Amino acid sequence: MTTYARKKAQLESRLAAAGGARGLSVRKSTSNLFRDRGAHRGARIDLSHFNGVVSVDAAAGVVEAEGMVTYEALADATLAQCAVPAVVPQLKSITLGGAVAGIGIEASSFRHGLVHDTITSMDVLTGAGQILTCTPDNEHRDLFFGLPNSYGTLGYALKLTARTVPARRCVELRHLRHSDPAAYFADLERRCTDDGIDFLDGVVFSRNELFLTLGRFVEHAPEVSDYGLERIYYQSIRERSSDALTARDFLWRWDTDWFWCSKNVGAQHPLVRRLLGRRRLNSITYQKVMRWNARHGVTRAWNRIRGIHAESVIQDVDIPIARAAEFLAFLHAEVGILPIWICPIRAPDPVRRATLYPLAQGTPSVNFGFWDVVASREQRPTGFVNRAIERKVSELGGVKSLYSDSYFTEAEFWAIYDREAYGALKRRYDPDGALGDLYAKCVRRA
């Protein structure tokens, strides 16, 4: 028996003894969810040990791995065979199953789509307590296409097969500066069909300072930069027009400073960087600090003393590329968070589209990532800015990720995320509601 087969057999006998999957909830030491949820009631079945790489076949362009494997471990296993998963989300602790259930993206998404578009097969533990193999063509294809954006409410992916692409030792970068948003998004769209690049993303630093970063695998670079300690990757984008990183450093270029959010915990100060050291300069450290702060309310108390009303705005939204400049203008006018991360996404294949994540059809979309606090002197209704963003995204035909706060009414939510299809999936794979409801989990934080 392989290790995975043994773990699976043990899980099956535990489920049989427990009488099904009621109360099933994954126990993990890290999470990239950004909404606080009520304490979990009931027993948890620990799936955290489903965290290994099963096999890598770089020649065939596939990696088989368990659902709770981190992308750091997955990328290391594939890099050893000169390959990388086709889409590697930017944070080391994101897991393969979490990135499918919660929508993973990266600078290769302009070519390969979102993480779930790179998956060819999944073993899913359903709410009904069965472990089913789902592929795009078999009798469980509805679950295969239903799992993306289901946040563990249909089942947990225990093992997945993902596509890989060949990698080289280094990635060469070009940072192109623009000053006009319309020209910027036109350039972005044009480059989405450029076969000469492997990666494409961007950063908006101000109204007239917008960058595209073009990346290309190369075997050798005359010199490679190090952004793991003293220097900070996002700052380098404004400072130099070309650069090179090792392939591994490139994959984690955003993790060291959590894009730029490390500034919120003082980790961009040279002394703090030295004290933290390479091992602790990463998103896992910052998440721990932020969660501790949220639990103990330190920033909340400080804001109260200063008479400031602060709203956390941590969002990733996907907008059809033709409306991207309009959305950016809205962000500048109504939200004011900078920098903004920009990442194009290939138009979804109409035959393989994710049922619960309705990206615009027939056109690339642009992911806007903006993560900060919006402060105001006036008392506003709860979720005031987040609500405005939700309305604008819907107006422009976009779709919002659900890993953070959402304020949709139930009717609005299900008009976007396909109540009918979700209901059919629930009836088939979680008939007793063992895993909870998507709206309750993502909006009511149940």
Ligand X SMILES: Cc1cc2nc3c(=O)[nH]c(=O)nc-3n(C[C@H](O)[C@H](O)[C@H](O)COP(=O)(O)OP(=O)(O)OC[C@H]3O[C@@H](n4cnc5c(N)ncnc54)[C@H](O)[C@@H]3O)c2cc1C
Positions touching ligand X (CB under 6 A) are 26, 28, 31-34, 67-68, 89-91, 93-95, 97-99, 101-102, 104-105, 151-152, 156-157, 314, 371, 403-404
Length of the chain: 446
Q: With contact defined as beta carbons under 8 Å apart, do 160 and 96 qualify?
A: yes
What backbone torsions phi and psi does residue 379 show, to the nearest 5 degrees? -75, 125
User: Which residue lies nearer to ligand X by CB, 31 or 236?
Assistant: 31
Comparing C-alpha atoms, which of 84, 81, 103 is closest to residue 34?
103
User: Which residue lies nearer to ligand X by CB, 37 or 306?
Assistant: 37
> What's the closest the beta carbon of residue 305 comes to ligand X, in angstroms?
27
> What's the closest the beta carbon of residue 367 comes to ligand X, in angstroms?
9
User: Which residue lies nearer to ligand X by CB, 155 or 320?
Assistant: 155
User: Which residue lies nearer to ligand X by CB, 184 or 370?
Assistant: 370
The rounded distance, in Å, linking the Cα atoms of 419 and 410 is: 10
> What's the closest the beta carbon of residue 294 comes to ligand X, in angstroms?
12
3-state secondary structure of 411: helix
User: Which residue lies nearer to ligand X by CB, 93 or 225?
Assistant: 93
User: Which residue lies nearer to ligand X by CB, 52 or 67?
Assistant: 67
Q: In sequence order, what DSSP letters do the residues of 188-207 get, joined into one string?
A: HHHHTT-TT-SEEEEEEEET
> What's the closest the beta carbon of residue 261 comes to ligand X, in angstroms?
7
User: Which residue lies nearer to ligand X by CB, 221 or 254?
Assistant: 254
> What's the closest the beta carbon of residue 63 comes to ligand X, in angstroms?
15
> What's the closest the beta carbon of residue 242 comes to ligand X, in angstroms?
23
User: Which residue lies nearer to ligand X by CB, 98 or 181?
Assistant: 98
User: Which residue lies nearer to ligand X by CB, 32 or 213?
Assistant: 32
The rounded distance, in Å, linking the Cα atoms of 2 and 9 is: 11
The rounded distance, in Å, linking the Cα atoms of 372 and 101 is: 24
> What's the closest the beta carbon of residue 112 comes to ligand X, in angstroms?
12
Triad 16, 22, 24: Cα angle to 5°: 95
Comparing C-alpha atoms, which of 259, 20, 5, 282 is closest to residue 125?
20
The rounded distance, in Å, linking the Cα atoms of 10 and 170 is: 42
Instruction: Measure Cα distances from 169 to 74, 109, 220, 278 in Å.
Output: 17, 20, 7, 21
Q: In sequence order, what DSSP letters do the residues of 413-430 get, joined into one string?
A: HHHHHTHHHHHHHHHHH-
> What's the closest the beta carbon of residue 105 comes to ligand X, in angstroms?
4
> What's the closest the beta carbon of residue 118 comes to ligand X, in angstroms?
12
Looking at the chain, the number of H-run helices and the number of E-run strands are 16, 14
User: Which residue lies nearer to ligand X by CB, 70 or 225?
Assistant: 70
> What's the closest the beta carbon of residue 143 comes to ligand X, in angstroms?
11
Provide the CA 188 distance to its chain's centre, in angstroms.
21
Report CA dihedral (429, 431, 436, 442) to the nearest 10 degrees.
60
Looking up tokens 């979720």 gives 383
